[in-house]
C-alpha cells in the first residue's frame, strides 16, 4: 500500500507539470481553434532560460536563497517565453488566421522544428545539468515526499485558481470567452480580438515557462529535445480532459501522470506511453469531447 501511495504522489507531481503545459494548448485552441504545436518547445525554452538565469546568479553572487533564485528564474523565463510566443503569434500565426485550417497546422509544426533547432545550435545537443536546488525529503509513515513535489503541487494549485479567476471573473476573461464563441461578433461588440489572442498566447507561454522551471528543478537536467515528448503528452492531456477546458487540461495532465507512474511501477516502463495513449483512445470512443469538454456546436 505504501508503494502504491508513493507512486500516486510521483504521478500527481508529473501530472501537474503536464497540466500546466496543457493549459496553454487548451486556451489557444479554445479561442482560435488552432493547435500550437510549438508550445512544447516554448516549455523547453522556459527550462533553458531558467537554467541560464541560475548560472548567471551563481556566477555573480556567492550565495542566493533558493526561494529567491527560483522566483527570479521563473519570472525571467516567463518574460522570455512570452516574448517568443507573442512574436510567433504575430509573425507566423496571425497572417494565416483566415486561411484554410491546414496552413496554421503546418506553420505550427515548422515553428516547433525551428525553435528546437535554434536551441540545439545555441546551447548544444548535450544534456545540461543543474545542481540540486531543493533536496529536503520528508518521510511520513514510510512514504517519501520531497519538498520539490510539494512546491510543484502548490504552484499548480495557485496558478489554476488564478487562471480560473482571470477567465471567469475579469474583463479579459469575458473578452476571451467572447472570442471563443464568435470572433466576428466579439469584434463588432468592441472586443480587440488581436489583442485578446496575443494576451492568450502570452498567458499560455507564461504557464509553460513555470512548468519548464519546475521541470528543471525536479529532474535537474534539460536538453533541446525535451520540448517534444512533454509537449505531445500535454496535448494528449488537453484532449483527454476536454480541449478548451482549463480544469479539464489539469485533470487530463494529472491522469496522464498517474497512468505513466502506475504503469511503470507495476508493469513494463517501456510501454508506459502506450498505456497513456490507449486510455486516451478509450475515453474518446465514449466521450468524444473529453472528460470535461463541451460538445462543439456548429454555427449555421
Fold of the CATH domain 2-286: ABC transporter involved in vitamin B12 uptake, BtuC (1.10.3470)
- Tens place of pLDDT per residue across the chain (300 aa): 788 888 899 999 999 999 999 998 888 888 877 888 899 999 999 999 999 999 999 888 878 888 899 999 999 999 999 999 999 999 888 888 877 778 888 898 899 999 999 999 998 888 998 888 888 888 877 788 899 999 999 998 998 888 888 888 899 889 988 888 888 888 988 889 999 999 999 999 999 999 999 999 999 999 998 888 888 888 888 888 888 788 888 899 999 999 888 888 888 777 777 887 888 788 888 888 888 876 665 554
Annotated domain spans of the chain? 2-286
> Cα(10)–Cα(118) distance, rounded to whole angstroms?
32
Closest of 270, 236, 226 to residue 256, by C-alpha = 236
pTM: 0.90
Polymer length in residues for the chain: 300
Closest of 229, 243, 236, 246 to residue 281, by C-alpha = 236
Q: How many angstroms from the chain centroid is the CA of residue 132?
A: 23
> Cα(87)–Cα(246) distance, rounded to whole angstroms?
24
* Cβ–Cβ under 8 Å, residues 238 and 252: yes
- What are the cell numbers at 226? 525535451
Amino acid at each position: 500500500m505504501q508503494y502504491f501511495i508513493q507512486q500516486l504522489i510521483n504521478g500527481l507531481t508529473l501530472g501537474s507539470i503536464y497540466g500546466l503545459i496543457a493549459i496553454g494548448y487548451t486556451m489557444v485552441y479554445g479561442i482560435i481553434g488552432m493547435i500550437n504545436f510549438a508550445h512544447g518547445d516554448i516549455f523547453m525554452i522556459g527550462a533553458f532560460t531558467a537554467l541560464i538565469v541560475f548560472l548567471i546568479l551563481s556566477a555573480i553572487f556567492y550565495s542566493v536563497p533558493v526561494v529567491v533564485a527560483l522566483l527570479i528564474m521563473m519570472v525571467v523565463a516567463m518574460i522570455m517565453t512570452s516574448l517568443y510566443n507573442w512574436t510567433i503569434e504575430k509573425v507566423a500565426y496571425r497572417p494565416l488566421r483566415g486561411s484554410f485550417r491546414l496552413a496554421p497546422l503546418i506553420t505550427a509544426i515548422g515553428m516547433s522544428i525551428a525553435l528546437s533547432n535554434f536551441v540545439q545550435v545555441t546551447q548544444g545537443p548535450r544534456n545540461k545539468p543543474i545542481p540540486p536546488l531543493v533536496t529536503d525529503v520528508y518521510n511520513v509513515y514510510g512514504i517519501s515526499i520531497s519538498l520539490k513535489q510539494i512546491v510543484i503541487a502548490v504552484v499548480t494549485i495557485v496558478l489554476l485558481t488564478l487562471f480560473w479567476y482571470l477567465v471567469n471573473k475579469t474583463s479579459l476573461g469575458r473578452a476571451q470567452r467572447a472570442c471563443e464563441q464568435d470572433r466576428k461578433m466579439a469584434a463588432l461588440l468592441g472586443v480587440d480580438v488581436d489583442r485578446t489572442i496575443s494576451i492568450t498566447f502570452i498567458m499560455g507561454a507564461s504557464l509553460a515557462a513555470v512548468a519548464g522551471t519546475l521541470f528543471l528543478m525536479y529532474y535537474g537536467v534539460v536538453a533541446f529535445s525535451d520540448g517534444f515528448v512533454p509537449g505531445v503528452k500535454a496535448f494528449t492531456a488537453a484532449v483527454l480532459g476536454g480541449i478548451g477546458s482549463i480544469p479539464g487540461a489539469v485533470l487530463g495532465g494529472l491522469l496522464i501522470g498517474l497512468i505513466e507512474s502506475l504503469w511503470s511501477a507495476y508493469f513494463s516502463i517501456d510501454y508506459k506511453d502506450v498505456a497513456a495513449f490507449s486510455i486516451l483512445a478509450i475515453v474518446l470512443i465514449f466521450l468524444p469531447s473529453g472528460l470535461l469538454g463541451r460538445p462543439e456546436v456548429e454555427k449555421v
